[in-house]
Structure 1
Amino acid sequence: MLLSIDTSSRYGGAALADGDGQLLEVRVWRSAANHTAQLMPAVSELLTGRDIRAAELTGVAVALGPGPFSALRVGVSAAKGLAIAGGFPIVGVDTLLLEAWRYLDPALHGQRPDALVPISWLDAGRNEIAAGAFGVGGQRLGDDRVASPAELLRQDAEDQRAAIYCGEAAWAQREEIAALIGDGPACVVMPWTPADRLWALAEMAAGRLSEGHADDLSSLQPYYLRMPTIGAPRQRDRVRQGRPSSS
């Protein structure tokens, strides 16, 4: 049994899946803080509902961000603690890849020049978006970006990208995307629910575990596009901290 944990945004969630990554039960919520009050009670409910102990899990998967600093720390710390206590493997996956996972079908963005490129959007705060573009197999098409919606769409138009905009922030700003695209390259904004990331996380983690690919507990860290600004001036930076090597 695989446990998946996601605290990448205001929406958090936990899920149990079988060895093939098929979801069996899900808990999702929206938190005004950092998910501390919701996460472990949700995990306990999942385990109790299936009448299993944490030590009986075969692995734990966690979304690594980008996302709010404190929220990501809650999810990653909980996943690590469970893996250490139970002695089972851990898999971390960055959240931009999770948002794009279901759209990484080669038929959607193969070798055709007009192929649709999945571009994930997550809220980065300060009225900006964290965006990642992906090719066949999940490889990144360039560096992740942090900018305003208008600036991201301008860049995509310059690159002549016909895009599938996906993820929480893309769905939340679908009307703005439609208004800003205008006569630019063809694009579509895909619907989103909090459970989408958990489904992708369970499926990807199960696949990696079946191939013997787990992450190292000591080096696994959240993926921060920005470091926290507590006690310091709010100066902009795009330093990536702890980006997962497995993505």
Structure 2
Amino acid sequence: MLVLALDTATPAVTAGLVELTGPDRIRPRAVRVHHDPRAHAELLTPQIVECLREAGVTAAELTAVVAGVGPGPFTGLRVGLATALAYADARAIPVYGVCSLDGIASVVAERSLLGAGELLVVTDARRREVYWARYRSGTRIAGPAVCRPAEVVLGAAVAVAGSPVHASLFGLPVVDVAAPTPVGLVACAASAVLAGTAPDPLVPLYLRRPDAAEPKAAVR
């Protein structure tokens, strides 16, 4: 099975083609990652085209799409999810949404970068806040949530992954995984993709209302 994986929940604009042949048999075919929090729309589609070209396949050979649904900033998420839906609709294939923080934790677990202790994952929520979730053996046990770093519930976390700047605020060893990878994203949805399970609607995980607001009606 050939899966297109996308994530735009962090400054890392991520696209990749992943070959999925079993729950533990997930192989990257082509990956593109660029770090630019202001250029998701400009970068994502060209990266997908580059991945298809490198892998020597066409979009017609895709089996499914997996997309990180956040939490993340409004504009970046909208670009990634709209692109995922467009590819899925054009090819009449399913699109599976996964929490982007889960994708980071999946990478840490797959690379055996942490022992038996709990892992904290944090990403930049702007406004001096972070998005966070906590994991044990790759499984989420708390979050996702958004708050100031001092309000994060550390629980029994023994290490932290995610945005390096924000991870450094917690006084824990930092695991060098800043963003979800295509393999990490697909691993989160592998069972559903392999089983052909109908996906839930693709809903962005904002955790708070966007900054933009509709103008109020003029008072006459």
TM range, normalised to the smaller chain? 0.7 to 0.9
Instruction: Report Cα offsets for 1:188-218 as digits up to 9, x if no partner.
Output: 2201254x432201223333311223414xx
Find out whether 1:206 has 2:190 as its counterpart: yes
**Distance in 2 separating the partners of 1:232 and 1:151:** 30
3-state SS of 2:10 partner? coil
Native 8 Å contact 1:98 1:197 kept in 2? yes
Aligned to 1:18, the other structure's residue is in SS state: strand
Deviations 1:56-105 (A, max 9, x none): 11111100000011110111111111111101121110111111113458
Give the partner amino acid of 2:158.
A
8 A contact 2:5–2:186 mirrored in 1: yes
Percentage of pairs with the same residue:
29
Residue 35 (structure 1) aligned with residue 40 (structure 2): yes
The answer for the alignment partner of 1:189 in structure 2 is 174
Q: Is contact 2:29–2:55 with CA below 8 Å preserved after alignment?
A: no
Listed as ranges, the matches of 1:122-161 within 5 Å are 122-136=123-137, 138-141=139-142, 143-152=143-152, 155-156=153-154, 159=155, 161=156
Gaps of 5+ in 1: 110-115, 179-186, 234-247
2:65 maps to 60
Check 1:188–1:214 CA distance in 2 against 1; reply closer, same or farther (3 A cut): farther
Compared CA separation, residues 124 and 32, structure 1 to 2 (3 A): closer
- Counterpart for residue 161 of structure 2: 166
Find 1:108's aligned residue among 115, 126, 130: 115
Q: Cα 1:175–1:76, aligned 2, differ >3 Å: closer, same or farther?
A: closer
Separation (CA, whole Å) in 1 of partners of 2:108 and 2:49 = 32
- Aligned partners of 1:4 and 1:15 also within 8 Å: yes
| Paired AA for residue 108 in structure 1 | G
Alignment of 1:208-247 (within 5 A): 208-216=192-200, 219-231=201-213
Match of 2:99 in 1: 94
Runs of 5+ consecutive residues of structure 2 not aligned to the other structure: 216-220
What do residues 142-195 of structure 1 show as CA deviations (whole Å, max 9, x unaligned)? x4332222332xx42xx4x2432112x2x22344333xxxxxxxx42201254x
1:106-138 deviations in Å (ceiling 9; x for gaps): 9933xxxxxx21111011110111111123462
TM-score, structure 2 length as denominator?
0.83
Q: TM-score, normalised by structure 1?
A: 0.75
Which structure carries more strand by proportion? 2
Q: Secondary structure at the match of 2:196?
A: coil
Q: Which of 153, 157, 177 matches 2:170?
A: 177
- Aligned pair count? 208
Give the letter aligned to residue 166 of structure 1.
Answer: A
